[in-house]
């Protein structure tokens, strides 16, 4: 009997927290609508990543070619944003490459990279003209812009946001052999498929 009561209390708490989260999101959307932001109406749309640009070049795949575009350097990134019937999409940084510099057996500096996965929370899309925000739980997560016909969306993600996801792996081995801790934003562009 005690087990059933405990389960009932736990289940009620879960339902209550979901209700609070939905109410919080609704209040946030209503506040944003007062400033001109409304739902994006991107339901059912899929956008494919076309560039993932950093301000500094790197060679994550160690092919000797340096690029600012992670698409040229690593296979670890979210390649699409798919909006569901609620105008929500998975977090675009739920999968990404991280970088660090290590030393090989000969004592040479080597660029290393790995793939990191985060929670993949769903973000809600709001739009005002060409301005777009993706929010979660009553807070703006990403800000971006869309083309006039919404076929291209671009997000510039500040370093502070990236730092939360990269878990400390942010060293770049430069072409001249020096190491840079990157503290720069990334610009990710998606095109409608």
Condensed to tens digits (0 to 9), the pLDDT of residues 46-80 reads: 999 999 888 888 888 889 999 999 888 887 777 78
The Cβ of residue 132 has, within 10 Å, a number of other Cβ atoms equal to 21
Tell me which residue of 119, 100, 122 sits closest to 111, measured CA to CA: 100
pLDDT tens profile 2-48: 444 433 344 444 434 444 444 555 555 555 556 789 999 999 999 99
Tell me which residue of 77, 79, 83, 71 sits closest to 46, measured CA to CA: 83
Range of lowest pLDDT (11-25, 63-77, 88-102, 147-161) = 11-25
Higher pLDDT residue, 97 or 148? 148
**Averaged over 115-134, what is the pLDDT?**
86
pTM: 0.75
Tell me which residue of 15, 31, 16, 18 sits closest to 135, measured CA to CA: 31
Q: How far apart are the first and last CA of the chain?
A: 54
What separation in angstroms does the CA of 127 have from each of 17, 45, 130, 133, 183? 27, 15, 7, 6, 28
Structure confidence at residue 157 as a pLDDT band (50, 70, 90) = confident
Higher pLDDT residue, 13 or 179? 179
Structure confidence at residue 167 as a pLDDT band (50, 70, 90) = very low
Structure tokens, 122: 């769903």
Q: What is the phi/psi pair of residue 106, to 5°? A: -90, 5
Mean pLDDT (the chain, rounded): 79
The Cβ of residue 62 has, within 10 Å, a number of other Cβ atoms equal to 12
């Amino acid at each position: 009997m005690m087990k059933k009561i405990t389960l009932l209390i736990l289940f009620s708490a879960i339902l209550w927290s979901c209700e609070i989260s939905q109410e919080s999101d609704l209040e946030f959307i209503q506040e944003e609508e007062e400033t001109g932001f409304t739902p994006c109406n991107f339901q059912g749309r899929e956008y494919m990543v076309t560039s993932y640009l950093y301000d500094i070049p790197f060679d994550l795949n160690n092919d000797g070619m340096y690029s600012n575009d992670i698409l040229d350097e690593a296979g670890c990134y979210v390649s699409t944003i798919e909006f569901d019937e609620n105008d929500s999409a998975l977090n675009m940084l739920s999968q990404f490459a991280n970088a660090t510099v290590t030393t090989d057996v000969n004592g040479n500096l080597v660029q290393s990279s790995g793939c990191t996965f985060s929670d993949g929370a769903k973000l809600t899309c709001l739009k005002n003209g060409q301005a777009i925000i993706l929010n979660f739980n009553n807070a703006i997560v990403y800000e971006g812009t869309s083309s006039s016909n919404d076929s291209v969306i671009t997000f510039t993600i500040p370093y502070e946001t990236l730092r939360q996801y990269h878990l400390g792996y942010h060293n770049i081995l430069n072409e001249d052999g020096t190491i840079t801790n990157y503290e720069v934003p990334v610009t990710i562009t998606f095109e409608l498929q």
